[in-house]
Amino acid sequence: MRSERPALPCALAIGGLDPGGGAGIVADLRAFAAAGAFGCVAIALTTVQSTAGLKSVRSASTRDLVAQAQEVLRSQRVRAVKVGALGSRRNVHAVARLLSRHADLPVIVDTPMRPTRGRARLLAGDALSTLKGELLPRATLVTANVLEAEALLGVEIRSVGQARDAARLLLHAGAFAVLIKGGHMVGPNAIDVLAVEGDVIELRASRLPLQSTHGTGCTFASLIAGRLAVRVSGRVNRDDLVAAIRWAKRVHHAALGRAVDVGRGMRAVVF
């Protein structure tokens, strides 16, 4: 008699398609698999890009985006959602409304606005206030690098102390927790700052001597979402979230150390 395979939890990535595979939903799927979750996607934008950089961005139809996500949420065992690049203000608004109907799901909101290389925007200029006012309040966790946090808050962040203050300020947008990543700061350690339930926690890792690497933010946020999908059923509490972030940081740090050359330009993160 053939034994039944165990049911797998799903993690849903809502974001952009990078045809070069280094970032966006392709990177999300690799991270979900590394966490043990079955990956699903809804496409918010398409791009022309590779490891050499981003050439152009085109936002997807809001109707199609919502239809894709709704179908997966209706039919599959989605246990966590990761939101990445959304492109237009209409897409941000629609995703926020959709997530308001699934308040039991943990939602990791990454906030990519501009690429590491290239001039095209991953978030329209008129969408920033909608992101802050409508989407961030739906987030279990907001992940932002220093440049993104500066854009969201209109402040300068040059030190860990300023990152701590910024994380507290971003909590006022309504997210359960905020993580400001320390990769753009200087020093022997890369220090991420996590604000959750009134506390601020510093997560340290030795700074790696890396060449330019593609999709690091996408991957980190998706590792967290994938881990929550596998380990947590229902609403996420502080301990669940901190444990998932610590696990993701360890796995992410190890993967950065073995980033691979897949072509001209930036390296890619693999597991």
Respond yes or no: is residue 216 known to be catalytic: yes
3-state percent breakdown (helix, strand, coil) of the chain, nearest 5: 40, 25, 35
Q: Which residue out of 39, 215, 226, 265 is catalytically annotated? A: 215
Respond yes or no: is residue 215 known to be catalytic: yes
Q: Which residue out of 15, 21, 183, 217 is catalytically annotated? A: 217
Q: Which residue out of 16, 82, 183, 218 is catalytically annotated? A: 218
For residue 211, give the amino acid letter: Q
* Distance separating alpha carbons of residues 181 and 190, to the nearest angstrom: 8
* Distance separating alpha carbons of residues 91 and 42, to the nearest angstrom: 11
Respond yes or no: is residue 217 known to be catalytic: yes
Q: Which residue out of 51, 111, 130, 216 is catalytically annotated? A: 216
Respond yes or no: is residue 226 known to be catalytic: no
For residue 113, give the amino acid letter: M
46-82 burial: b if 16+ Cβ within 10 Å, else e: bbebbbebbeebebbebeebbebbeebbeeeebbbbb
Respond yes or no: is residue 213 known to be catalytic: yes
Q: Which residue out of 111, 143, 213, 219 is catalytically annotated? A: 213
Q: Which residue out of 87, 181, 226, 249 is catalytically annotated? A: 181
Classify residue 264 as exposed, middle or buried by CB count within 10 Å of its CB (0-12, 13-18, 19+): exposed
Which residues carry out catalysis? Answer: 181, 213, 215-218
